[in-house]
Amino acid sequence: MLTQERLAELIELKSRVRQGPDPKATERQHAKGKLTAHERIELLLDEGSFQEIEALRRHRSTAFGMDRRRPHSDGVVTGWGKVHGRTVFVYAHDFRIFGGALGEAHAAKIHKLMDLAEAAGAPLVSLNDGAGARIQEGVTALAGYGGIFRRNTRNSGVIPQISVMLGPCAGGAAYSPALTDFVFMVRDTSQMFITGPDVVQAVTGEQVSMDGLGGADVHGATSGVAGFVYDDEESCLEEVRYLLSLLPLNNRETPPVESCDDPADRANDALLHLVPADPNQAYDMRAVIEEIVDDGEFFEVHEMWAANVVCALARLDGHVVGIIANQPASMAGVLDIHASEKAARFVSTCDAFNIPLVTLVDVPGFLPGVDQEHNGIIRHGAKLLYAYCNATVPRVQLIVRKAYGGAYIVMDSRSIGADVSLAWPSNEIAVMGADGAANVIFRREIASADDPDSVRAQKIKEYRTELMHPYYAAERGLVDDVIDPRDTRHVLIRSLDMLRTKHADLPSRKHGNPPA
């Protein structure tokens, strides 16, 4: 029958489309340690859930012999499926076809998918392995990128957008990921740069490899472009699935809640010895976070970049929270340009997707220095201040140890809108440390003393006793409660539970104008 013939033709055509136009291209992809587009999608999505669209799309360009090369799919696989049972939209560049380069039809497929994701209110994941704009199609390829950028921006803060870098992505192919919420990279196989090594050498004379210019470790540790770096595609895509389990489908929903066997009132006895009493002694704040959160599990963002602040997603009593914490084990936990930018971005992302914020404070101040001032610590530090002041999600601050100067204010103090401010008995909240304060206030008295060292020590003790005792801020209502460290988990959970129904409206405006 004719219907049977057509059905057989369709099955055979779709099989050929999936296999790609050249079996050797698949072999070359695998030889590089890279999976094909469909193989990647199968790892990302729940088994059997992928629904592809526009698999039969072909370009219509005729220039430079393109009319003789019109493979189906046009180098990108698009569709939707499920991750942990929830809808997720995905597109994946197919490097086997035109090196994954973007042309008019290729872009139109992505535009349609992005519009569907927006309409359905579901996350969008891009699996990037493309060589940039398709040169043979000229300005229409550039316009295709423009349409992607516009949709990335329109959907910013509306649906989660995740970019997974799985191959070389240059020029316009690097800008779309930069507009999304999270960027994943794989070592050795993925790179991002605006201009490649050849252009860099031609213009500047600098010789650099592709990995040295824009590899995963470069963007994970130096530029801060990549939030997550992995050794292989399988582990990378598994972690993308985990991140999606922590995020809501869109900005109108809250993150999924999981049942929790870790008791909400579990005592945190370990905290008594994890944090040294000496404010100048370092420790790893990650150990504190691990002790507090459900089952000791948290998902750190930008682990390799700006290590003096920790940003992580975790759960408390099954509910997702965003944790921002100074890290005394790196640069004494001081705030600098990169740490401010990292934390500001994370605060804004959590606020956009209804994720409550928990801020753990142990900060000696902002990093002093000519380099910091000349590179704009004022405006970069203001980004973090702006992000916190603008956030309307539940916000709980916990002062673990020291909190000095402007850095205390910026780390979600009561004065900039924290809903609940807590502190341990080890807290020291002041304009500056006792040593520096005594040197400023009692400078002349110390200088004229017969025994300056003795007088300085006396004045330091006097300042600490008068203005830095653990209850000074609590007496003035700037700290709501000084708590036993062993009760930290329980008090945080109770505070966040109380704030679950928080509602806050910002003034009517087109948008704010945050520091650049």
Based on the residue annotation, tell me whether 224 is a catalytic residue of this protein: no
> Alpha-carbon distance 472 to 384, whole Å?
26
Based on the residue annotation, tell me whether 171 is a catalytic residue of this protein: yes
Ramachandran angles phi, psi of 221, nearest 5°: -115, -25
> Alpha-carbon distance 240 to 513, whole Å?
31
By DSSP bridging, strand 161-165 and strand 86-93 are unpaired
505-515 residues labelled b (16+ CB within 10 A) or e (exposed)? eeeeeeeeeeb
Find the catalytic residue in 407, 434, 437, 438. Answer: 407
Of 338, 322, 324, the residue nearest 375 (C-alpha): 338
- DSSP for 40-58? HHHHHSPTT--EEE-TT--
For the record, the structure tokens of 136 come out as: 């043979």
Find the catalytic residue in 171, 220, 227, 333. Answer: 171
Distance of alpha carbon 359 from the chain centroid: 16
CA distance to 129, 351, 441, per residue, from 221 (Å)? 21, 25, 41
For the record, the structure tokens of 465 come out as: 């006793």
Based on the residue annotation, tell me whether 339 is a catalytic residue of this protein: no
191 forms beta bridges with 168, 215
Find the catalytic residue in 99, 147, 224, 406. Answer: 406
> Alpha-carbon distance 155 to 121, whole Å?
10
CA distance to 96, 243, 283, 290, 496, per residue, from 401 (Å)? 55, 31, 11, 18, 22
User: Residue 130 in 3-state DSSP?
Assistant: coil
Of 150, 188, 204, 197, the residue nearest 172 (C-alpha): 150
Based on the residue annotation, tell me whether 172 is a catalytic residue of this protein: yes
78 forms beta bridges with 53, 91
For the record, the structure tokens of 487 come out as: 């009760």
Ramachandran angles phi, psi of 9, nearest 5°: -60, -45
H helices of 2-126, in order, are 2-19, 23-31, 37-44, 104-120
Contact 165, 180 (CB under 8 A): no
Residues labelled as active-site residues: 171-172, 406-407
